[in-house]
Amino acid sequence: MELEDIVEILKSDPEKVIPELLEDVRKQYGEVPYIMNFMKDLPEIFIPKTLYDNSIMREFKNLDQETVELISIGVASALRCEHCLKMHLRIAKRKGISKEKIFSAIMIGASLSNAAVLAESTRALASEYPDENGKDKEEEKEDCCDPDCEVCNIAGANVK
pLDDT for the residue 7: 84
What is the three-class DSSP state of 144? coil
What is the three-class DSSP state of 133? coil
What's the residue count for the chain? 160
Residue-wise pLDDT for 121-147, tens only, equals: 999 999 999 876 555 455 445 556 667
Is residue 8 scored above 90 in pLDDT? no
> Among residues of the chain, what percentage have pLDDT more than 70?
82
Residue-wise pLDDT for 61-111, tens only, equals: 788 989 999 999 999 999 999 999 999 999 999 999 999 999 999 999 999
d(CA 97, CA 66): 7
pLDDT for the residue 110: 95
d(CA 63, CA 27): 20
pLDDT for the residue 55: 82
d(CA 92, CA 132): 48
**For the whole model, what pTM was predicted?**
0.70
